[in-house]
Structures are given as C-alpha cells and as structure tokens.
Structure 1
C-alpha cells in the first residue's frame, strides 16, 4: 500500500507564466503523470497541488477535470482525484492501435522522406544511444517519442498524424516502463527502420516498424507478468 503522504519534491518548480494558469497546471500535471513522477493510484489533493505549483485551487480543479475527461485521472465522488491506474487490457489495445498507425507511417515515410528528414532521424537515434550509454531513462524515452513523431511527420498524412498524436503521449507512459528492458535492441531496430526509410523501401520499413512496435507490446506484457506492471498499489481513499 502506498503512503498517503504527498511527496512535495516532485512539484518543486512553480508553474511558468504567462500561459493561462489552467493550461500550465494541466501541462505540468500531465508531464508528471506521463513520466510517472505521479504514479498510478496517487491521490491528487487540490490544496497540496495548488500550494506546490504556486497557484490557486481553481486552475488545479480545472486541470484535474480536463485530465479526467482525457482518462489520465479518476475523479471519485466523496474521495477526490487519483491518477488513473490502467489495466493490462487498456495497454494492449493502445499499443495495438499504435502499431497499426506507425506501421503505415513508416511505409509512407519511406516513400516521401527527404535527406534532411532522414538526418534528423539519425540525430535523434544518436541522442537515444547516448541516453542508453548513460543509463538515462528520460533521455531514451524522450528521444524515442520524438523519433517516432518525426517518422509520422515524414509520412506527410495529416489525418494519420492527428490520430497518432492522440496516442503518442500515452505510449510514452507505457514505454517508460519497458525502456530498460528493451535496451539496445530497441535502438538497433530504430536504426534498421531509418535505413529502410532512407533507401525508400516502403515494404521493409513497414515490416520493421510492425515488428518493432510488437516487440514493445510483448515487453510490456512480460513486465506485467514479472510482477512489475504499470499499476502501483492505489492509496487509501482520502477526503480532499
């Protein structure tokens, strides 16, 4: 059972202005959730969040409502707000949709990528490898997310990009759980995908991306089976 004591260190930096407070609070909380600084089941107490972020309770309340609408936070009448604790089924569905979208994105990118676009992918690959060598999980997760985003951009399909963007942040949340497990193998797969895109081999790029995203899905299920699932024990419900 996790402690109900709120770890104030995760919210050490006040929200930056001049963005509207509700947007800044939303962005800050979402970043903390996707990076698992606020883990699944964590009780989010409005007045504690407001104090740590240096804002009033109103923008916090609005941000929590928006996060609830998007499925990041569960609002429980009488108990308050809690970081959503996803099921293994949710993960499987999300990663399956991601595979479909990004497989097609890789195929299209192989037919449309410019030399400059390919070089940007290589830069991101190098950043990811640097993170791997340093054991920097955040750097690997960020580089991975940006590399996949760039491949979707290179595809040149705005509808596909919009759909992929809707799942990208959630994928980053799950990828953070398996990034160490996948390790160097994942970046070797990235390198092969980049080479296929550079050579214009659409079928190979699609096949490699399908295998790559499937490997991440399998790694997530293996992580869960090992007892290291995404969900941490929820806190006891407490009044706000």
Structure 2
C-alpha cells in the first residue's frame, strides 16, 4: 500500500477566498487530478489537515464530497483512498469527451475570431516549450487550457458546462500518458488551429475526433511495453 498523507512539497496554497471546506476540497482535487496523490493512495485526515494547516473537519467534509463525485473511495474500517479508475470508467469518460470536443471544434471553426486564434497559437507555443523541456506538469495544464479555449470559442454555454464537468477527469487520465503523446499531440493541436482559423468545419471535426481518440487509445495502451 502506498504511504499516507501528502508528498513532501505538494501542500497547496489555501489563501483563496471562500468557505474553508471548499478551499480544502479544491486543494485536494488539484492534488488528485495532477496525480500528486496517486490512485490507491491512503488519505489520512490528520495528516492531510496538518499539511494543509486546517482542522480535520473541513478535510473530512472535503473527502465526503470527493467520494460522492467519484474521486475518493471511503471504505468502512479502512478510511479514504484515492479512487483507482477502471479501464471501463476511463473508456466511457474519454468517449463522452470525444463527443463534446468534436462538436466544440466544429462550432469553433464557425465562430472563432482572430483574437481567439492568437490565443490558441500562444498556448501552442507554450505547450511546445513545455514538451521540449520535458515539463510534464506544464504540458498537461496547457493541454487542458488549449481544449478549454476551443470550447470557449465554440460559444455554446451548455456545451461549455458539460465539457467542464468532464475536463478535470480528462486531465486525470491524460497525465500518465502526457509524455507518451508528447510532440505528436501538439502537432495535432497545430493542425486543429489551422482548420479552425480557416473556418473548415469538416476538417476541424475530423481532426478533433482523431486527436481525442488517439488519446483514448494511448490511455488503454499505457502499460504496454
């Protein structure tokens, strides 16, 4: 079993405004989605509270919320553990992600303006630098930002809300394959920008479907030699 508590040096900043239980929830969720707290890790309330500088009560409330949302498993007489996703769970989530992002890319190709394209190009440049520097954490964060920007450019509030609901778990699944996808993923991003900038709905749709499906297949193949 993995050791308990937070890894050294990973305690996040809780100075943002809002109820303490919500700030603790956000801090723990960030640690889980970035895999600083890896699947299967035992989460001990007292140790988490000590590292975050809070009492055990907001930690307990945060763990209960995370359990409800499927990020944490609360096991009787054992405690809390970071959820270990099954292949089936991952496949279902990444399949839904494809459906949402394909439509997002299609709409973005009809609505994106020059400012939006420049924003995508800026994220692309940062992503390429992160990959070149083997900065996996930055590459994962920038990948999420790139896809979120396309959804924003789509201009559909309901689509954006649904995409945001799955976005964090997509990041969770993407982290262990980010290095494997590497330059190829960002080359695919460049092609997507070209299609969106050219208002080419058909190409944007096809490229996004291929891009997200490659990520799904890479996740399932992550443990192959």
Q: The TM-score by the shorter chain falls in which range?
A: over 0.9
- Gapped runs of 5+ residues in structure 1? 227-240
Establish whether residue 218 from structure 1 lines up as the match of residue 217 from structure 2.
yes
In 1, Cα distance between equivalents of 2:29 and 2:38: 11
Match of 2:160 in 1: 161
Match of 2:87 in 1: 88
Match of 1:98 in 2: 97
Instruction: Show CA shifts across 1:93-144 (max 9, x none).
Output: 1110000100010000000001000100000001100101100001110111
Q: 1:35 to 1:13 in 2, by over 3 A?
A: closer
In 2, Cα distance between equivalents of 1:66 and 1:5: 20
Q: 1:195 to 1:5 in 2, by over 3 A?
A: same
Instruction: Show CA shifts across 1:138-191 (max 9, x none).
Output: 111011100000000110111111111110000001111111111111111000
Q: 1:87 to 1:33 in 2, by over 3 A?
A: same
Instruction: Show CA shifts across 1:71-105 (max 9, x none).
Output: 00001111111100000111111110000100010
Match of 1:39 in 2: 38
Establish whether residue 26 from structure 1 lines up as the match of residue 4 from structure 2.
no
In 2, Cα distance between equivalents of 1:222 and 1:13: 32
| RMSD of aligned residue pairs (Cα, Å) | 1.3
Q: Choose between structure 1 and 2 for higher RCO, CA contacts under 8 A separated by at least 6 residues.
A: 1
Match of 2:106 in 1: 107
Instruction: Show CA shifts across 1:186-221 (max 9, x none).
Output: 111000000000000001000000000000011111
Q: How high is the TM-score relative to the length of structure 1?
A: 0.90
The runs of at least 4 consecutive aligned structure 1 residues that moved more than 3 Å come to 2-8, 10-14
Q: How high is the TM-score relative to the length of structure 2?
A: 0.96
Question: Do the aligned residues in 2 keep the contact of 1:128 with 1:139 (CA within 8 Å)?
Answer: yes
Aligned residues: 225
SS in 1 for 2:70: coil
